[in-house]
Each structure stands twice: as C-alpha cells, then as structure tokens.
A = this chain, B = another copy of it.
Amino acid sequence: MKKVAIGVDIGGTNTVMGIVDEKGKIISRKSMPTKTHPDYTIYMNSLVDALKRLVESCPDKIEILGIGVGAPNGNFYNGTIEFAPNLKFKGVVPVVDYIKEKFSYQTILLTNDANAAAIGEMIYGGAQNMKNFIMITLGTGVGSGIIVNGELVYGHDGFAGEIGHVIVDPNGRQCGCGRKGCLETYASAPGIKRTVFNLLSEMIEDSILRTYNYQDLSAKQIDEAARKGDPIAIKAFDFTGKMLGLTLANAIAHTSPEAIFLFGGLAQAENLIFDPVRKYTEHYLLNIYKEKVALLPSELPPGDAAILGSGALVWKEYKTGSV
C-alpha cells in the first residue's frame, strides 16, 4: 500500500488540507473557510468532517501515516494553538487532542506555519541535504523555522523561532505585537508599504507610487514599480534588504546555518529583494561567517507549500523518528 500523510494548514481566512505522498505529490486536496467559524468547537467539527471527506475521496490503496497541522501560534509540545492574533477563536485551542478523539492515526502533530514550512523545505525542497538552515517566511507577517543538526528548534516551551519578532530598532515602528521595531514591521508585505510611505515623505523624486493611497497600495505594485526603475520602489527594496540583512546576520551569529531560505510573497520579487538582502547580510556579518551562508529562494511550490509543510511533519517523524 502506498504510504501517505495528511497535511492541514490553518490560515486566518481559509484552511487547506491535502494528502501528500513521499515525493511531495498532493494526491487529493480540500479547503474550507476558517474565518466564518468564530467558535472553535464548531470549526473543529467542520475540520474533522472535511478531513473525513478528504480521506474518503482517496483511492483505496493508501496507508495514512498521520496528520500534520500548521497553524499560527501553533505549539508543538502541547498540540495547541495559543492566543493567535490572526484567528477568530481566542485563548488556547487543543487541536491535536480534538483530532485524536476522531482519528486513530498514530502520528498527529501540530506546529506553527513557518516551522512547518522549514520541515517542508527539508523533506521536499532545497534543504534536503542540509542539517543546519533557517527558513524565513515573508508574508503578511514574518515567520521563521530554525533547523539545528537536522531537527527543528522548538525550545523549552515549543515557541522557538520567532525571528519576525526580533527587534531590529527599539525606537522603530509600532508592531502588532505591542512592541516597537520588530523585523515584521519592515520585512513583511505591509512593512515594505510602510517603507514606501516613509520614503515618499523623505525623497523628492517622481514616482508612480505617489498616485496610490495607503489603503490601496500592495506589495505587488511596489514590485512592479521597482521593475520599471521607480526610484522610491527600488529604495524601498534596498531598505527592506537592509533591515532583513541585519537581522539575518545576527541570526547567523546564533546558530551558524549553511543556508537561509526566503519564502513568500516578497521572496518572489527575486533579485529585487535577494540582491539587497545578500549585500547587507554580508556587510553586517562577523568575519568568521562571511561568504559561507547561502541565501536561497525556497524550492517549495508556493501554492502547495502550506500543505506540503504540514504533511512533512508526519513524514519527518516517520523517516527519522523525530520531528
């Protein structure tokens, strides 16, 4: 029988799930809204129903090894989502316990979405031969997963790896977490927009970006403007690279990885973001680390990454006996 894993990604808007084989092929997939379920027991019932339908949709000859779940503020040790600011259900949500009541698979695991992406990169992506690397997810927020000696770093409480909330400038921008100057306020999609608006105030050059209001401007439009040579857009990418490069240089001084992978919307800006991040990371690196750490785009297909990462949680456990 073909062995497969189920991957579930709980996002603020939608929950996606799929059946993933050993090579990272998604055999079957489903999605359901997260947002419309303010109460988590109703949500969990819907999720369990969707999972049952997902399993039923599959050919007979599969053996399901388990279910992996990626979620914001997911705690690996407790199998819970804890106080996730971007989800409607508040407090501590015992996701793994709930799924365990309904399914008898041996492996049912949960972690945060960026950690799941890191494990996905290790099982299916560009980090298949790496033991020490860092995954950075650049989306609406900035997440990270740190791999040391082939294992994800969970820390003593299951919450390690929040590089998006490293403070780059203690007098910097207000962050949604209540503090100031977190990397996320600079290197996320809303972060580069904030940078553009600051640069519009500081610079005098003409720019297509002067025609957008704050609400309407998207990171994609900044990307397009930069590709056309817009000076403000180019400067915005450079500044984003500076803040991210400084933070990555400091992260390297912690775990000395052989590579850092960038994933998510901003990473798709290709050289526009990779060139400045590389330049500033090298600039801020301590001598002993210089020219040793590869900065790479994630090799996970963007549309499948969330499901692959969560499914990889199960595959990692199956292959090595540890996640």
- Asked whether, in the complex, the Cβ of B256 is within 8 Å of the Cβ of A156, the reply is yes
Which residue of B has the minimal Cβ distance to A134? B254
Chain B residues positioned under 8 Å from A204 (CB to CB): none
Which residue of B has the minimal Cβ distance to A133? B156
How many of chain A's residues have a CB under 8 angstroms from any CB in B?
44
- Asked whether, in the complex, the Cβ of A179 is within 8 Å of the Cβ of B255, the reply is no
Q: Report the copy number of this chain in the oligomer.
A: 2
State A288–B165 Cα separation when bound (angstroms). 11
Question: Which of these binds chain B: A8-16, A51-59, A147-155, A220-228?
Answer: A147-155
In-complex Cβ contact of A167 among B160, B170, B179, B246 (8 A): B246
State A179–B167 Cα separation when bound (angstroms). 19
- Asked whether, in the complex, the Cβ of B286 is within 8 Å of the Cβ of A177, the reply is yes
Question: What's the least CB distance linking A234 to chain B, in Å?
Answer: 21
State A131–B130 Cα separation when bound (angstroms). 23
Whether A289 is near chain B, meaning CB under 8 Å from some CB there, is yes
Chain B residues positioned under 8 Å from A82 (CB to CB): 288
> Given known contacts A177-B286, A286-B165, A286-B179, is B159 in contact with A148 (CB within 8 Å)?
no
Whether A230 is near chain B, meaning CB under 8 Å from some CB there, is no
Contact with B along A116-142 (1 / 0, CB 8 A): 000000000000001110000000000
- Asked whether, in the complex, the Cβ of A167 is within 8 Å of the Cβ of B257, the reply is no
Which residue of B has the minimal Cβ distance to A85? B287
- Asked whether, in the complex, the Cβ of A253 is within 8 Å of the Cβ of B162, the reply is yes
State A155–B132 Cα separation when bound (angstroms). 6
In-complex Cβ contact of A292 among B149, B157, B178, B249 (8 A): B157
Q: Which of A156, A158, A178 has the most CB of B within 10 A?
A: A156
Residues of A within 8 A of B (CB): 73, 82-83, 130-132, 146, 148-149, 151, 153-163, 165-167, 170, 177-179, 246, 249-251, 253-258, 284, 286-289, 292
- Some 16 contacts from A to B, beta carbons below 8 A apart, are A82-B288, A83-B288, A146-B254, A155-B255, A156-B258, A157-B289, A158-B256, A160-B256, A161-B253, A162-B253, A166-B254, A170-B284, A177-B286, A179-B286, A250-B250, A255-B255
